[in-house]
């Protein structure tokens, strides 16, 4: 069993090396696939300076295309059995990979969502962000007939062969509702596990905003009707 950890990166020079160190410390067979989404800070130069490593693949997008596009590029390079989506900031803890993959290893799940709302420790931040997340998750559940608590979570872990059953299209944060809708349509077995969450505020580099929330509503409705 090998993990393929796909990490979309955009302007994360302050967190990237620490995040990479934490991922590399996870005591599991793995490959790490970093996809830079045409960063405008020094992230690309930082990636270019990393030493050659057989377990590390670095890909560069030709221009800024969004998280979903970066993930699709990374998924094309996957050679492992289980895929982990990992953001390049430090909001999610790679040390929790063993918890996330356990339902798959036990043959109970095809997909695992790491939920920030199932009781794990988390940094206290924005009330309205949590409300918005719950609204989007509820709407997604209504369309997919799933009962997730955190559709928008970064931590989506799944069997690699599931990628062959779906065609992903969205370039930005529409990846989250699109992936969820297509997981439901594929009749995949879905588990949730509690995770910790160390959220950051906008002064620390948080990127998602209210416009992305409105777009998510559109994508939830779109992929209820469109494959």
**pLDDT at residue 40 is higher than 80:** yes
Give me the chain's average pLDDT, please: 91
Overall average pLDDT of the 189-212 stretch: 72
Give, in order, the Cα–Cα distances in Å from 34 to each of 20, 100, 192, 224. Answer: 9, 20, 25, 31
Q: What region, left, alpha or beta, does residue 26 occupy, with left being phi > 0 and alpha being psi -120 to 50 degrees?
A: beta
Overall average pLDDT of the 8-15 stretch: 95
pLDDT of residue 205: 45
DSSP 197: B
Domain borders along the chain are 3-225
pTM: 0.91
Query: Which structure tokens are listed for 26?
Result: 């996870």
Residue of 72 and 199 predicted with greater confidence:
72
| 3-225 belongs to CATH 3.20.20.70 | no
CA distance 31 to 225: 35
Overall average pLDDT of the 54-64 stretch: 94
């Amino acid at each position: 069993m090998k993990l393929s950890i796909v990490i979309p990166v955009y302007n994360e020079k302050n967190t990237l090396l620490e995040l990479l160190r934490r991922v590399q410390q996870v005591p599991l067979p793995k490959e790490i696939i970093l996809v830079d989404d045409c960063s405008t800070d020094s992230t690309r130069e930082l990636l270019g300076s990393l030493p050659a490593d057989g377990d590390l693949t670095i890909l560069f997008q030709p221009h800024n295309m969004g998280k979903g596009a970066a993930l699709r590029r990374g998924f094309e390079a996957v050679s492992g059995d289980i895929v982990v989506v990992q953001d390049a900031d430090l909001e999610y803890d790679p040390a929790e990979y063993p918890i996330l993959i356990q339902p798959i290893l036990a043959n109970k799940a095809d997909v695992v969502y790491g939920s920030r709302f199932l009781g794990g420790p988390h940094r206290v931040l924005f009330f309205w962000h949590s409300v918005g997340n719950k609204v989007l998750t509820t709407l997604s559940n209504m369309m997919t007939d799933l009962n997730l608590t955190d559709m928008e979570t970064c931590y989506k872990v799944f069997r690699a062969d599931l990628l062959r059953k779906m065609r992903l299209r969205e370039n930005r944060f529409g990846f989250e509702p699109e992936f969820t809708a297509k997981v439901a349509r594929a009749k995949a077995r879905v588990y949730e596990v509690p995770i910790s969450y160390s959220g950051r505020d906008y002064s620390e580099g948080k990127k998602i905003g209210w416009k992305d929330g409105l777009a998510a509503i559109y994508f939830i409705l779109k992929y209820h009707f469109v494959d």
